[in-house]
Chain A
Amino acid sequence: DQQVKQNSPSLSVQEGRISILNCDYTNSMFDYFLWYKKYPAEGPTFLISISSIKDKNEDGRFTVFLNKSAKHLSLHIVPSQPGDSAVYFCAAYSGAGSYQLTFGKGTKLSVIP
């Protein structure tokens, strides 16, 4: 049973436009969410996180939105750049006694010059 779902395996966006990557979760105990970026044959790199007490967190070109009632979060990248082409993983953490990050399967973003 997948608790963190990234339903779009891939996404293509024109350079300069907005990229929106989506993530849904089923476990209502999740209260901290992270986005990681991963290039092939490399380890994931932390991008941005959001706590359940917030509905938005912004860091430069990256903004994460959290809709707790819908159990949905999204990562916005504006403007998209060719170097953003990578696989993006959504991960969730439950503060209620868990150390473990639960990952989605990832979305491959391709930014077309």
Chain B
Amino acid sequence: DGGITQSPKYLFRKEGQNVTLSCEQNLNHDAMYWYRQDPGQGLRLIYYSQIVNDFQKGDIAEGYSVSREKKESFPLTVTSAQKNPTAFYLCASSPRGLAGVEETQYFGPGTRLLVL
């Protein structure tokens, strides 16, 4: 079964702590994305990656970091610099992620991050 997995489903963060959200895909997609959803809001792009070892900031990258060491994996770290981390985090992937190419992005089940 091809798809996108995210873990954990729920994550609790203490003040001043960095936490890492996992995202794995076995769709053989080149591009991967991280979005954040707040209540009553649409999805906002945090980071995206079109290829291994390369990634770009989205609209709300401050307080977050990513890595793309493997094609199938795109972990997101929520750092202590992110002052309002409580949200639902969604990982997505698409086949190419190239400008000018119409593509569908496919989403994982999400991770809900809560601050203690």
Question: Chain A residues in contact with chain B, CB under 8 A?
Answer: 4, 9, 31-32, 34, 36, 41-46, 49, 51, 89, 91, 93, 95-106
Contacts and interface: CB of A to CB of B under 8 A. Distances in A.
Interface in B38-58: 40-45, 48, 50, 58
Nearest to A5: B42
B78 interface: no
Contact of B50 (A34, A99, A101, A104): A99
Interface residues of B, number: 31
B116 interface: no
Contacts of A89: 42-43
Contacts of B71: none
- B contacts with A: majority SS: loop
A36 B35 CA distance: 14
Interface in B58-116: 58-59, 88, 90, 92, 97-110, 112
A31 B98 CA distance: 14
B100 A34 contact: no
A42 B108 CA distance: 8
Interface of B: 4, 6, 31, 40-45, 48, 50, 58-59, 88, 90, 92, 97-110, 112
Nearest to A42: B109
Given A44-B43, A105-B42, A95 B101 contact: yes
A106 B37 CA distance: 11
A90 to B, nearest CB: 9
A26 to B, nearest CB: 14
